[in-house]
Amino acid sequence: MTDTTATVGGDQPAVTESDGPQILTWESSTRRIITIYIPLIIFLIVLLFPFYWMAVTTFKPNSELLNYKDNNPFWINSPTLGNINKLLFETDYGHWLVTTMSVAFGSTFLSLLSSVLAAYAIQRLRFKGSDYVGLAIYAAYLVPPSILFIPLAQVVYQLGLFDTPYALILTYPTFLVPFCTWLLIGYFKSIPYELEECALIDGASRLQILRRITLPLAVPGLISAGIFAFTLSWNEFIYALAFISSTEKKTVPVAVLTELVQGDVYHWGSLMAGALLGSLPVAIFYMFFVEYYVSSLTGAVKE
C-alpha cells in the first residue's frame, strides 16, 4: 500500500493521509484538557481547600498554629488529637450535635409534609388562581430571614417556646416550605397525569392517588427537597442565635462560634474541629443522594 503525499507550492510536502487523524486527535485532546480538565481541577481545588484547611488546623498543635515563621501553614509537623479531645470532652458538643440533628429532622419533616400537600394541590387540582398562588409561595422564599426573625421572635415569646428546640422546628419551615414547594411543583409536572386519571376512573380518592401513585414516582424530588431542607436547617444561624440562649441547647453553628471564642481568644484548633465534624453529615447526605438531587432539579426546571 502506497502512502500518497500532496505538495504545497511544489516543494513542501503537505500532511499525509496517515498523519491527519493523529493531528486531529492531538488537537481535540489538547482542547479537552484546556476547556474541561484544567477548569475542573481549579474548581476542585477551590471547593476542597476549605475542608483541607479545616482538617490541617484540627490536627495542629497550638505551637504550630501560632508560629507560621518556623512551621509550614499547609502541613502538619506534629499531629495531635488535643483539639478534638477538647471539643468532645471539655464542651457540650454532644448536646449541640443532638439538638442540631433533632431540629434538622423535625423541621425537614414538617416542611416536606406541607410542601407535598401544597405542591400537589397547586399542580393537580388546578383551582382558580393556582399559578399565582405558586408564584406567591416561591416569592416568600425571597424574603430575607433577617427581616422575618423580628416578628417571629414575638410569636415565639407568646407561645412560650423561647430557648427550646421547638422554636427552631416551627420557624425553619418559614423559609424551607416555599422552595421545597416550588421544587416539587416542577417535579410533579414531569409525572404523567394519565396515571392519576386512570386511578380516578377506578374510584381512588385524591389522597389514595397521592400516597400510592404520585409519591412513589416522586421519590427523587422528595429526596432532593429533603436534602435541601436538612442542609439549610443544619447550617442556619440567625434564628438559632436569636431564639436559643442556653449553652447546652444551642445548635452546632452557633455554639462553635459563641462558646469557643472567649473574649479575644480564638481556640482555632477546636473551632476547626467543630466545623469539620459538623459538616460531615451534610457531606455524607449529598454523597449518597447526589444523583436524585440532580434528577429532581432537572424535572423541576425543564418545564
Low-confidence ranges of the chain (pLDDT < 50): 1-10, 15, 17, 20, 300-303
Can you give the pLDDT at residue 6?
Answer: 47
Total Cβ atoms within 10 A of residue 155: 12
* 222-255 pLDDT tens trace: 888 888 899 899 988 889 988 998 888 899 989 8
- pLDDT for 248: 86
User: What per-residue confidence (pLDDT) applies to 22?
Assistant: 52
Q: What confidence score (pLDDT) does residue 302 get?
A: 47
Widest pairwise Cα distance in the chain:
95
Residue 133: predicted pLDDT: 81
CA 294 to chain CA mean position, Å: 12
Where do runs of H (alpha helix) occur along 142-251? Answer: 145-158, 165-171, 173-189, 193-201, 206-209, 215-217, 219-235, 238-243
Q: What is d(CA 37, CA 40) in angstroms, rounded to the nearest whole number?
A: 5
pLDDT digit string, tens, across residues 81-111: 888 888 888 888 889 999 999 999 999 999 9
Note the pLDDT of residue 110: 94
CA distance 195 to 235: 39
Q: What is the pTM of this model?
A: 0.77
- Write the CA distances from 125 to 130, 251, 272, integer angstroms: 8, 39, 49
| Residue-level pLDDT at 106 | 94
